[in-house]
Amino acid sequence: MTKEKSHEEKEKNKEEKKTRSKATKTEETQETPNVPETEGAANVDSKVEEPPKDELAESNAENFIFQSEVQQLLHILIYSLYKHKEVFLRELISNAVDALNKVQFESLKNSDIEDKDLDFKIEITIDKDKNKLIIEDTGIGMTKQELIDNIGTIAHSGTLDFVKKVTQSNSSDKMDLIGQFGVGFYSSFMVANEIHVHTKSFHKGSHGYLWKSKGGNEYTIEEKGKQNRGTRIELFLKEDETEFVGIPRIKNIINQHSKFVPFPIIVEKEKIESVDAIWTQPKSKLQEKDYNDFYRFFQNANEDSETYLHLSSDAPVQFSSILYIPKSNSEIYGWIKSDPGVDLYSKKVLIQKACRDILPEYFRFIKGVVDSEDIPLNISRETIQSDLKVNKIRKFVLKKIYDHFIDIKTKDFEKYLKIWKNFQRNFKEGVPNEYEHREQLASLLLFYSSKSPKDQYIDLDKYVERMAKDQFEIYYAIGNEYESIEKNPALEAFKKKDLEVLYFIDPMDGWVIDHLQQYKGKMFRPVEAADIKLDEKEKEQNPELTKKAEDLASYLKVIFGDRIEDVKVSQRLVDSPCILVNAKDAPSIQLERIMRLQNSKADFSKKILEINPDHKLIIEMTRIHKEKPDSEYLKLLGLQLLDNMILREGVTEDVESIIPRIHDIMLQAAQKA
């Protein structure tokens, strides 16, 4: 280089420095929002003290002032954004991955790059004596101007408006706004007093540069001879951040957040075990074994999944996903709910473990990954909840999951039956809160039936398909077990008319139907409903018996008092003497049981007792009533008739009065024998 050329370059550097100085002064005079003073934070409007001239001459370092928005963001990021300081390492590794992706692309289209034979990798080293953490990549590197543009400036439109909103809003709003900007590098100042960035661009013949800052309002850049292409970040940690010079701690952070990055990560010369992010690969390149191996690694499982779903989409949001249905449910063995099983990633880097915003809570048993490059890496937990992209992903994924379950149920019912037996309570749990997909969820429910063998399930579609032409309701009966429902007197008329009845044995079934109410336009009706009409054309077979039974019904209503809504003569009973039925709009027996467990003094709608005029017991009671209306024995029989039905429902609280009455009836029966 000639002396004339060297002189010209020096003059040019002086002019650039003057221009930057003018720009800085102009920027300082612009109206910027005030930032609250925080202990240890630099004053935004403070002036930079020039270092001694001889020091500048020796180091060739130039002083720069951070763009004012950067200064304020430093305060916000360090003191307001991150709840877990460890994310700084995730951010730096992600930046290194971006740099490696870029240089990899450049190497494909341009062979004449700096250090073209250098391996693509990320190395992390620790200097415990100096409390220093070093992250180095062999990526694309930066020129001097790129250092200024990428670190000294936030190159986003509307940044000033963003800062104004952030400084004028409360802390939760700050979270929502910050998620829109890629400012992860600055999070390093949460743990570091000073940061040095050594970098060398991929351009052939580039010089190395050193960027330094203590997180105040200034930074320096000097030409420094970095030997190889890439970026080396040295964090001089704060005294109380010694945990980040512990190798196990660093490995744990990497395994939690960055185990799927596509480049080797080496910690103190040891390569971290990693697995390919198979969700980003085309389905055509993957085998069943690839999916199983990934599931075992991802879930630390010793068995394969029951089934899986591999998804990808470019619109309305770009994302890829792989979801698994396990073969077992850990919640079966206890009452504690498990955490959601889907993790949210951005560019193969973990954003949120056990994300609650991808799937509804009742699908928490589904395990897997959702990865979208459209989601900002710095998005906060609060922002995820309201992010439109995340909501679109949720909607797409949920639809595909329902399609997948319905497809399995249709094509491989035995496989679906295994899923149902493990996770039926999750499906049922979802009914009250699922609106958009309620009918699809209802179609996945399975029940026992009066027309199916014991222990054989049917779905609601099968029931509707088998309904009689003039049947407009779905009938169901509730009980503790299959056998007890079979003996329910309310079923007698349905069996006689060959009408199918669903059997609700699980305690959750009645609760589910109370929320579901209808399926494909068919209302659910309990067989005990008082106003149910199975055949309006049916005639009374014995008017005389019916008239006597009506007189007995009037008597019984008097002795029952306010314990019952009414006593009526039944036309539905065949073999049983009586039945207790629900008044219109009354809660189901199962729901009443649940409500009584929560509140023993809960007040419920009174029920209706129907008596069978053709039953021998009712005929004998009508005889006693006609011969001796004030018979104490008749009163005992009447009270016991009602209590028998209440006992059957399992909701009585008057057992102490029932037992002596039974003894009295037995005694009188024995005396007449």
**661-665: average pLDDT:** 82
The one-letter code for the residue type at 4 is: E
Query: Is the overall model pTM greater than 0.85, yes or no?
Result: no
Q: How far is CA 332 from CA 136, 336, 423, 506, in A?
A: 47, 9, 9, 14
Residue 590 pLDDT level (bands cut at 50, 70, 90) = low
For residue 243, give the nearest of 74, 84, 79 by alpha carbon. Answer: 84
Q: Are 574 and 492 in contact (CB under 8 A)?
A: yes
462 closest CA partner among 483, 479, 446, 440: 446
Q: Across-strand partners of 319?
A: 313
Delineate the domains of the chain, giving CATH numbers in brackets: 56-271 (3.30.565.10), 278-414 (3.30.230.80), 445-526 (3.40.50.11260), 543-672 (1.20.120.790)
Beta partners for residue 369, in sequence order? 322, 343
- 487 contacts: CB under 8 Å, gap ≥ 6: none
Three-state secondary structure call for residue 125: strand
From 45-54, 396-405, 573-582, the region with the lowest mean pLDDT: 45-54
- pLDDT, mean over the chain: 81
What is the token pair recorded at 654?
A: 């008057």
The whole-angstrom separation of Cα 350 and Cα 363 is 20
Position 33 pLDDT exceeds 60: no
Question: Using 50, 70 and 90 to split pLDDT, how confident is the model at 540?
Answer: low
Residue 360: closest CA among 446, 437, 308? 437
In this prediction, what percent of the chain has a pLDDT beyond 90?
46
pLDDT over 50 (residue 666): yes
Give the alpha-carbon dihedral of 50, 56, 60, 65, to 10 degrees: -10
The DSSP element (H or E) to which 280 belongs, if any, is none
CA distance 280 to 268: 29
**Residue 616 near residue 576, CB atoms below 8 Å:** no
Looking at residue 535, what is its pLDDT? 60
Q: At 69, is the secondary structure helix, strand, or coil?
A: helix
Give Cβ neighbours of residue 641 (< 8 Å, ≥ 6 apart). 556, 577, 578, 609, 611, 617, 621
H or E stretch covering 41: none
- Note if the bond before 432 is cis, omega within 30 degrees: no
SS3 518: strand
Please give the DSSP secondary-structure letter assigned to residue 529: B
CB 99 within 8 A of CB 231: yes
State residue 180's pLDDT score.
Answer: 32
Kindly tell me the sign of the dihedral angle through the C-alpha atoms of 157, 159, 164, 168: positive
Average pLDDT over residues 549-569: 91
Mean pLDDT, residues 576-589? 76
The widest CA-to-CA distance across the chain, in whole angstroms, is 136
Sheet holding 270-271, edge to edge: 62-65, 218-223, 208-213, 192-200, 230-237, 132-137, 122-127, 265-267, 270-271
Return the pLDDT at 481.
87
- Which position has the token pair 């008239």? 547
* 533: pLDDT strictly greater than 50: yes
Task: Decide: helix, strand or coil at residue 351.
Answer: strand
Q: Which residues pair with 231 in a beta bridge?
A: 137, 199
In the block, residue with structure tokens 């003290």: 49
Q: What is the chain's Cα-based Rg?
A: 38
Tokens at residue 427, please? 């499906």
- Which is more confident, 378 or 170? 378
CA distances to 11, 21, 53, 146 from 18, rounded to whole Å, are 11, 5, 17, 19
Contact 168, 78 (CB under 8 A): no
pLDDT at position 390: 87
pLDDT band at residue 553, thresholds of 50, 70 and 90?
very high
Q: What is the pLDDT of residue 82?
A: 56
Mean pLDDT within 120-133: 96
pLDDT, position 39:
32
Calpha distance 66→215 (Å, rounded): 10
Please return the burial class of 49, using the count of CB atoms within 10 Å of its CB with bins 0-12, 13-18 and 19+: exposed
How do beta strands 458-459 and 446-449 pair?
antiparallel
The share of the chain scoring above pLDDT 70, in percent, equals 78
The two structure tokens encoding residue 63: 């002083």
Interhelix angle 413-430/507-516, nearest 10 degrees = 70
More confident of the two residues 253 and 39:
253
Q: Above 70 in pLDDT, residue 395? A: yes
CB 358 within 8 A of CB 394: yes
Check residue 598 and give its pLDDT. Answer: 61
Which of 114-118, 154-158, 196-200, 550-554 is predicted with the least confidence, judged by mean pLDDT?
154-158
pLDDT for 225: 77
Residue 211: how many CB atoms within 10 A of its CB? 24
pLDDT of residue 163: 46
Q: Which of 386-390, 483-487, 546-550 has the lowest mean pLDDT?
A: 386-390
**How far is residue 27's CA from residue 228's CA, in Å, rounded to a whole number?**
36
The span from the CA of 572 to the CA of 96, in Å, is: 77
* 8-state DSSP, 335: S
Burial class (CB in 10 A: 0-12, 13-18, 19+), 238: middle
**Per-residue pLDDT reduced to its tens digit, 496-516:** 889 999 999 998 898 899 899
Give the CA count within 13 Å in the CB-facing half-sphere of 171: 9
| Beta carbons within 10 angstroms of residue 546's beta carbon | 14
pLDDT at 400: 97
Min mean pLDDT across 267-281, 402-416, 539-553, 646-660 is at 646-660
Express each pLDDT in 141-174 by its tens digit: 999 999 988 888 764 433 344 445 545 555 444 4
pLDDT at 402: 97
Q: What are phi and psi of 613, to 5 degrees?
A: -65, -20
Model confidence pLDDT, tens digit, residues 39-85? 333 332 333 334 444 444 456 889 999 877 777 767 766 665 556 78
pLDDT of 6 strictly over 80? no
Q: How far apart are CA 301 and CA 306, in angstroms?
A: 12
